[in-house]
Structure 1
């Protein structure tokens, strides 16, 4: 008896796929991480290793993941299993990484959504620092003492409600499907993000001191190029901003039609992501230049990244804006919401698609049970008063010992162990305008794993060196998160080793069969 075939969607248009992939790549890190990384690593000179990293690691890895997804037509676990039966654990490892990231990533979007509203009247008052940690998050008391590490019992009510609303919207979009949900959302949100952030940058450029900020950002320190850590930082920024290494691009590419151009799409997504990072650097440093002028201090004293930049430094700056302060705040935090939200959708799609493809369940069932489970985990853990500690620790360990290591293992497994590089190159070149050859193999098979290996070694060394000054609860929780993701990946692969993958058929194949049948009937 023939197995029942499961019909998988295709992207409606190539533009829809590219916008969705850009939406995944362009996230919070583009706005709050890249400017500080560039400034700390040579300013304008950093753009040289950054561009080299994009061309020798980012885009080659994108091409590999796009090709794996399209060729093997499945989510990460299915695609890696079809590539090699022993590689399925890589896909499930990536699924576990996405579950961890989605759970805490959503709460940052909820913070930004609430700060979008707070911007209208500058609700944070004269002390954005105190407002964030004491009044908003409840992570500290009025005396500045932090809450208990495992204080899970106290939730921040308003944050919980907003976080729940974000999860409802996320699951509705994923449940609507690839074309009606994810693609249509990307077609609206990505142009909106560019327009909003563009307006913000124009406003920032009109501020007094903006020129000094741009000088600080772009003035090259060419001597920095002799420092190996600057080059590693450039590769690190590329790896962590392109959404490579944890199943997203494999999953998205699995919905491509067979004749889609792989390499051109990879170059488009890579350069679009980097262009937005450069735009973010211009906007952020224009504002920091204004802040330095107002405070009468050097610009380097104003530079920060992450939560400190977004939720402390920028509200402080907004308080001193000469005009349209509320509009500037709304534009900034709404941009964070949109950039983060499109990334969140792509992250959650990975585990939902994995369960849908591997177990043959419907999209509705996968969205409700898998997506709903992640949402419940997120809502229970991260709006609590210790949510910031949980978030910061999970983010640090899953990035250093999850994404980077999974990317390294996937490259070595595909290129050197399974020896699939020639097959993938042929498949990509078959439908692509830009052909890849041995330069691609050298970049993907030698340069990228060497850099990722060095980053892993450097991260382990830094963790060991700093272990004495780190709270033991932090180490236990962090290593549990990173190790647990790998353990889940291996366990799922072992459990499912003898279970066949359901027959998955693309819509275009079904349409082709229908057209062929209709043609035969017409002839008869």
Structure 2
């Protein structure tokens, strides 16, 4: 990324791209369950407070930094903090590359369900269909067990879709996101409106709308709300910084960041309403409590909701197709950003190689490398690997770079410079409270979110997995990420000093 790089033709393209990067599978399967499990509307209140106090200011900060610096994350952090900044930058990029491996695998699952939706192939038992027909799952964590053919096919389709969407950088991305970002809003709205017509749906809505105000006195609810609001916006991963680097220098930062943040929240709320309205109907039809049909994580999207769709009184095939098209488009927009940030960094840090090939060939190479990494999660025990590796990255590694990243942003950049730049190009004036927030409150919040996670690892092994399996997919990958980041940072730092 350089000052001569192509720019977004409109600020709305940046907004669409940033919403697409932020709004993903977590909005669809994590947010609804967290609302249900943490006091309904009371959790939403806590979530909105965190949105206003932390998320919108930090999205504004990252947008400003990207728009001002116009560098990929390794160079941007390295310019401020030398080798250590580049080390943190590479840790971010390698973490994002790690996420790409299993994220595209999950998109492959959605491709399979989308294909089978017109026939409702899962019938009354989506769990058996998912675990047997799609995953070909077995529970031995130490036996790969061969590949699942449906997942391989889904992976190929997913990577081809990503490649032909990003192979020309923001030029091709601009054409795709005009359709793929608005589409989930429309589809979720249709699913929500349909749920309003279903008898019993109000029981599902009650779990979301009726508040348990006592939950607001529980620190864990606030920690959950902060974590969900923070990570749902993809703060700290360099995605917003990267996309903002293609903005015009006079783009209204405060306005763009506000719209991106609200758009991301709107996806979460629409998903929660559509899902719980439909699950409420299913529970009423079967004469059971809602708690018996609710699930979290992938099970919600690929088991609980498909089962609910099968019970619909009419147009079941249509609404199943709409739902899995929603899953696919939500996930694929995030995949664009995930792979683009890895490619942008590699392209800029290894220019001597990039100059020898065309950009299209370079993107093919990047997608092929990541495809082979995704194969690690395409085996019969891939779901177990995915679960543990995701836990490592999202619950631990993310915090290892988030806190120092924001220290660099706040104290070394410094944040006051960014605040003044925001005020220059925005109609909204941001006061000095912004400095205090980023310098002091954000690091404290991140530490408060991480301490319970790290302390839990010492009291009980994650997921009751065998210790050796946790070493293979948590300890060893963590060591690889740290060592590789350090070595790549030394190379980048030495190269930067040689240029000077």
Q: TM-score range by the shorter chain?
A: over 0.9
Structure 2 gap segments, 5+ residues each: none
Structure 1 position 372 matched with structure 2 position 368: yes
> CA shift at 1:169, angstroms?
1.9
SS at match of 1:8: coil
Cα contact 2:278–2:309 (8 A) shared by 1: no
Structure 1 position 277 matched with structure 2 position 242: no
Largest Rg, 1 or 2: 1
Aligned 1:238-257 pairs, distance under 5 A: 238-257=229-248
SS at match of 1:149: coil
Cα contact 1:31–1:277 (8 A) shared by 2: yes
Aligned 1:405-420 pairs, distance under 5 A: 405-416=400-411, 418=412, 420=414
The one of 351, 357, 366 aligned to 2:348: 357
Cα contact 2:68–2:245 (8 A) shared by 1: yes
The one of 160, 163, 168 aligned to 2:152: 160
- Is the alpha carbon distance of 1:437 and 1:491 closer, same or farther for their aligned partners in structure 2, counting shifts above 3 Å? farther
Aligned 1:71-86 pairs, distance under 5 A: 71-86=68-83
Q: 1:220-250: CA deviations, max 9, x gaps?
A: 0111000000000001101221111111111
SS at match of 2:495: coil
Q: 1:68-97: CA deviations, max 9, x gaps?
A: 212211111111122332412221111001
Cα contact 2:134–2:150 (8 A) shared by 1: no
Q: 1:37-69: CA deviations, max 9, x gaps?
A: 011111011122111111122112212211221
> CA shift at 1:399, angstroms?
0.4
* Partner Cα separation in structure 2 for residue 428 and residue 502 of structure 1: 33
Paired residue for 1:472?
Answer: 467
Cα contact 1:66–1:249 (8 A) shared by 2: yes
Paired residue for 1:450?
Answer: 444
The more displaced of 338-347 and 444-453 is 444-453
* Partner Cα separation in structure 2 for residue 488 and residue 245 of structure 1: 20
Cα contact 1:72–1:83 (8 A) shared by 2: no
- Is the alpha carbon distance of 1:231 and 1:6 closer, same or farther for their aligned partners in structure 2, counting shifts above 3 Å? closer
Cα contact 1:8–1:255 (8 A) shared by 2: yes
The more displaced of 247-256 and 428-437 is 428-437
> CA shift at 1:404, angstroms?
3.3
Cα contact 1:70–1:254 (8 A) shared by 2: yes
Structure 1 position 115 matched with structure 2 position 113: yes
Aligned 1:1-20 pairs, distance under 5 A: 7-20=4-17
> CA shift at 1:395, angstroms?
1.1
Paired residue for 1:61?
Answer: 58
* Partner Cα separation in structure 2 for residue 303 and residue 126 of structure 1: 16
> CA shift at 1:365, angstroms?
4.8
How high is the TM-score relative to the length of structure 1? 0.90
* Partner Cα separation in structure 2 for residue 232 and residue 445 of structure 1: 20
Alpha-carbon RMSD: 1.9
The one of 292, 295, 302 aligned to 2:293: 302
* Partner Cα separation in structure 2 for residue 264 and residue 228 of structure 1: 32
Aligned 1:21-420 pairs, distance under 5 A: 21-86=18-83, 87-140=85-138, 146=139, 148-152=140-144, 154-178=146-170, 180-360=171-351, 361=354, 363-378=359-374, 380-416=375-411, 418=412, 420=414
SS at match of 2:4: strand
> CA shift at 1:205, angstroms?
1.6
Structure 1 gap segments, 5+ residues each: 141-145, 504-524
> CA shift at 1:470, angstroms?
3.2
Structure 1 stretches (4+) deviating beyond 6 angstroms? Answer: none
* Partner Cα separation in structure 1 for residue 67 and residue 487 of structure 2: 26
Cα contact 2:80–2:408 (8 A) shared by 1: no
How high is the TM-score relative to the length of structure 2? 0.94
* Partner Cα separation in structure 1 for residue 71 and residue 373 of structure 2: 26
Cα contact 1:76–1:91 (8 A) shared by 2: yes
* Partner Cα separation in structure 1 for residue 266 and residue 91 of structure 2: 30
> CA shift at 1:25, angstroms?
0.9
Cα contact 1:405–1:452 (8 A) shared by 2: no
SS at match of 1:208: coil
Cα contact 1:239–1:404 (8 A) shared by 2: no
Cα contact 1:382–1:388 (8 A) shared by 2: yes
* Partner Cα separation in structure 1 for residue 367 and residue 81 of structure 2: 27
Paired residue for 1:426?
Answer: 420
